[in-house]
């Protein structure tokens, strides 16, 4: 089978698993069978993806774009029919992400068996996980913006089902609705951007290979702005409609990847089961926004790139600061995800396509592991999520603590000072910061001296990341227990939960190493405009990074600071937070910078007022017109009814009564008495003769009249 066929099979398997579980799990089989059946289906998908990866990488690396006709949308100039097209798009990034998504999804499925043990709706949960995996694979495989959007919405629906899985609780109810609405806001921009390209490019939305003959979006772009290669930096590409289309498409990514100002749904999504958090935050939903931005990378004009970079910078700074003061362990990790997504988006805006996707891959492993570790702690702590109740759990949960520590070091970008060796996050994050140095310098060269903020921001936040992750680790696993009852009952989780953590922690260590060529393979997929950043320019960026991060010692300072402040729980941090000025900042950050309240006050209340206004208009104007028309009709009906009753029906009734009265008079003559009839006959005859006789005598006496 070709890689494209294998990837289509890998995509279909989770969908088949979803359908089988939904149709048969309540009729046949034991409850323990079906969760392992879903693991088997997604495991088979992993096997197909792995074979596709090996096959494609051992080949010539040529991009495969299969465009299958779907819906006819008119005709070409020669009269031939024109179709909307769908099909697989296969390049090195596709096969790499397929392997990553299916591997992580398999591990999360295994983890879910232990985490959801005892839940009566576990089969339904596993079916939803299958649907979620299928939706994400569909996005990665999509060859056109239309196909991306279809699976984009499927991801939204399946995340709605998973976040709100415990629908009997109010928190998950509100969280899934909030996620759904916030994503629809972003999707509105997606539709606008896709609509502009649909009109401008004659309905061809296929993301074909970047050549003029291939057609599609990129081919159309080259035909409009020939430059020998896709290069949005040339003057002709700086068209207002192309900028609007790029920003519109990126708005879809802002919603899906929870970028500022659409970030508020992601922390609330922690109301769902922890396996949902681990897969949403690592390999599926939030990664989809970054993946979309990478796929539309050649369409982004310089203005759109600046917009993307600015959104990423704001998000990464804002989320990291909020993560420093949260006490719910899952919310700390949620804001950490936001910050790391901000790094990826900033990298794409700065032109560092390769390191953005590289960080997506490395982040998927250590963030999935961190969420699974937090889920194990929550599971052992009887669903207590507040770190104020933890402490000293390393003695009770050594495997989970070790995995959490490894991934904390990975996300902190830990390395061995003055050597090129480090954990996976070290390679990808340092690459992003180095690329932003080039971008900031390019802006400064164009007269925008404030461009330095694009590399000082992520550099400083690299220190903050190591600090808040150390804080979470120390407050959970080190120090003295702050809840003796919780500590006494805590224990290491069963193998279905810790085994996936160990595998993910191992990947978090070495997936960034050059031996695996992840970065190199992603670099091969980079559009032409991103290629020059990978050579001489990057040396300058790395030089800055190594200096700013103290040649590998920087992460040690932040981790040491975290240990000193939190090893005794909240004793020191409470004193710091009580200092005037800092207390207000702490309150502001703890309340998520007030975004939820701001949205409640401005957006929610505005729409409530608008809804009230529309309701009043409906009640007073629309309903008034309808009610008035009904009143006029009713009164007119009464008038016509009265006329009909009094005159029409009155005439009929009067005629009837007259006939009845006449009949009542006449019926007296119909008594059936023969003698009476004879008497009346004689009286009549006698009367007639009495009247007629004089006339007859006169006629005879005086003669007949003469004419």
22 burial (CB, 10 Å; 0-12 / 13-18 / 19+) is middle
Tokens encoding 156: 């939204």
- Which residue reads 């091969």 in tokens? 524
- The pLDDT value recorded for residue 645 is 85
- The pLDDT value recorded for residue 648 is 86
pLDDT digits (tens, 9 = 90+) for 243-273: 899 999 999 999 988 899 999 998 888 888 9
Q: Are 588 and 594 in contact (CB under 8 A)?
A: yes
10 burial (CB, 10 Å; 0-12 / 13-18 / 19+) is buried
pLDDT digits (tens, 9 = 90+) for 546-568: 777 877 788 899 999 999 999 99
What is the maximum alpha-carbon separation in the chain? Answer: 166
Q: Are 188 and 251 in contact (CB under 8 A)?
A: yes
DSSP string across 532-585 = GGGTHHHHHHHHHHHHHTGGGTHHHHHHHHHHHHHTTTTHHHHHHHTSTTHHHH
Q: Are 389 and 483 in contact (CB under 8 A)?
A: yes
H or E element: which one contains 39?
A: helix 33-57
- The pLDDT value recorded for residue 219 is 57
For the chain, the straight-line distance linking the first and the last C-alpha, in angstroms and rounded, comes to 128
The parts of the chain modelled with pLDDT lower than 70 are: 208-238, 528-537, 668-671, 703-707
- The pLDDT value recorded for residue 234 is 47
For the CA atoms of the chain, what is the radius of gyration? 40
pLDDT digits (tens, 9 = 90+) for 525-535: 877 666 555 55
Classify 70 as helix, strand or coil.
strand
Tokens encoding 339: 């910050």
- Quote the pTM value: 0.84
Query: How many other CB atoms sit within 10 Å of the CB of residue 188?
Result: 14
- The pLDDT value recorded for residue 218 is 55
Q: Alpha-carbon distance 286 to 257, whole Å?
A: 4
Q: Are 53 and 99 in contact (CB under 8 A)?
A: yes
Q: Alpha-carbon distance 37 to 51, whole Å?
A: 21
Is-cis flag, bond preceding 540, omega within 30?
no
Q: Alpha-carbon distance 159 to 269, whole Å?
A: 9
Kindly give, in sequence order, each residue whose CB lies less than 8 Å from that of residue 91, ignoring residues fewer than 6 positions away: 61, 63, 64, 524, 525
Share of the chain above pLDDT 70, in %: 93
Q: Alpha-carbon distance 328 to 330, whole Å?
A: 6
Please report which residue ranges of 549-673 form alpha helices under DSSP H.
554-566, 571-577, 582-590, 595-598, 605-617, 623-643, 649-666
Classify 40 as helix, strand or coil.
helix
The number of angstroms, rounded, from the C-alpha of 277 to the middle of its chain's C-alpha atoms is 13
Q: Alpha-carbon distance 175 to 280, whole Å?
A: 14
Kindly give, in sequence order, each residue whose CB lies less than 8 Å from that of residue 11, ignoring residues fewer than 6 positions away: 45, 134, 137, 138, 141
The number of angstroms, rounded, from the C-alpha of 570 to the middle of its chain's C-alpha atoms is 36
Smallest Cα–Cα separation from 521: which of 45, 42, 59? Answer: 59
Q: Are 209 and 63 in contact (CB under 8 A)?
A: yes
- The pLDDT value recorded for residue 220 is 56
Smallest Cα–Cα separation from 360: which of 87, 63, 59, 104? Answer: 104
């Amino acid at each position: 089978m070709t890689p494209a066929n294998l990837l289509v099979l890998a995509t279909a398997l989770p969908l088949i698993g979803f359908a089988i579980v939904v149709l048969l799990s309540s009729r046949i089989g034991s409850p323990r069978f079906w969760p392992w059946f879903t693991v088997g289906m997604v495991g088979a998908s992993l096997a197909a993806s792995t074979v596709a990866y090996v096959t494609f990488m051992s080949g010539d690396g040529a991009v495969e774009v299969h465009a299958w006709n779907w819906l006819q949308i008119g005709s070409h100039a020669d009269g031939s029919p024109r179709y909307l097209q769908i099909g697989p798009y296969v390049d090195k990034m596709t096969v790499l992400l397929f392997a990553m998504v299916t591997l992580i999804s398999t591990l999360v499925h295994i983890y879910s068996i232990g985490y959801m043990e005892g839940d009566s709706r576990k089969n339904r949960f596993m079916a939803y996980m299958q649907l979620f995996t299928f939706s994400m694979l569909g996005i990665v495989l999509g060859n056109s913006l239309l196909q991306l959007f279809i699976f984009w919405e499927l991801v939204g629906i399946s995340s709605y089902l998973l976040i709100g899985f415990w629908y009997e609780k109010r928190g998950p109810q509100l969280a899934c609705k909030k996620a759904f609405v916030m994503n629809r806001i972003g999707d509105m921009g997606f539709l606008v951007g896709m609509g502009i390209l649909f009109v401008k490019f004659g309905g061809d939305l296929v993301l074909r290979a970047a050549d003029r003959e291939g057609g599609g979006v990129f081919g159309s772009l080259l035909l409009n702005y020939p430059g020998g290669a896709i290069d949005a930096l040339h003057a002709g590409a700086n068209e207002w409609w192309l900028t609007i289309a790029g920003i519109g498409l990126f708005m879809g990514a802002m919603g899906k990847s929870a970028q500022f100002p659409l970030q508020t749904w992601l922390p609330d999504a922690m109301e769902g089961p922890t396996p949902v958090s681990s897969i949403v935050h690592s390999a599926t939903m939030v990664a989809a926004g970054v993946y979309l931005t990478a796929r539309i990378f050649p369409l982004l004009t310089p203005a759109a790139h600046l917009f993307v970079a600015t959104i990423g910078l704001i998000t990464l700074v804002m989320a990291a600061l909020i993560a420093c003061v949260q006490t719910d362990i899952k919310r700390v990790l949620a804001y950490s995800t936001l910050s790391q997504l901000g790094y990826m988006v900033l990298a794409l805006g700065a032109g560092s396509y390769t390191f953005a996707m590289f960080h997506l891959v490395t982040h998927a492993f250590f963030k999935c592991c961190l969420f699974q570790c937090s889920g194990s702690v929550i599971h052992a702590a009887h669903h207590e999520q507040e770190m104020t109740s933890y402490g000293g759990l390393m003695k009770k949960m050594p495997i989970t603590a070790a995995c959490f520590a490894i991934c904390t070091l990975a996300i902190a970008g830990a390395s061995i000072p003055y050597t090129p060796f480090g954990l996976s996050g070290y390679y990808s994050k340092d690459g992003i910061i180095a690329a932003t140095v080039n971008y900031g310098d390019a802006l400064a060269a164009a007269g925008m001296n404030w461009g330095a903020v694009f590399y000082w921001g992520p550099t400083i936040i690299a220190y903050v990341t190591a600090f808040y992750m150390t804080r979470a680790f120390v407050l959970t696993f080190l120090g003295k227990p702050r809840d003796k009852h919780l500590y006494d009952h805590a224990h290491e989780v069963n193998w279905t939960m810790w085994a996936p953590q160990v595998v993910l922690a191992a990947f978090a260590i070495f997936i960034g190493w050059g031996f695996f060529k992840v970065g190199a393979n992603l670099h091969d997929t980079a559009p032409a405009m991103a290629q020059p950043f990978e050579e001489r320019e990057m040396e300058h960026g790395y030089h800055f990074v190594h200096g700013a991060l103290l040649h590998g010692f920087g992460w040690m300072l932040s981790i040491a600071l975290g240990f000193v402040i939190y090893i005794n729980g909240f004793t020191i941090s409470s004193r710091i937070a009580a200092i005037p000025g800092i207390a207000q900042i702490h309150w502001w950050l703890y309340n998520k910078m007030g975004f939820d309240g701001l949205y409640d006050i401005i957006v929610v209340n505005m729409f409530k007022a608008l809804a009230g206004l529309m309701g009043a208009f409906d009640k007073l104007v629309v309903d008034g017109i309808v009610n008035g028309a009904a009143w006029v009709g009713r009164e007119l009906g009464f008038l016509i009814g009265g006329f009909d009753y009094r005159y029409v029906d009155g005439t009929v009734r009067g005629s009837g009564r007259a006939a009845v009265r006449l009949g009542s008079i006449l019926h007296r003559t119909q008594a059936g008495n023969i003698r009476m009839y004879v008497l009346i006959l004689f009286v009549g005859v006698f009367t007639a003769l009495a009247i007629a006789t004089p006339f007859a005598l006169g006629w005879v006496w005086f003669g007949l009249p003469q004419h």
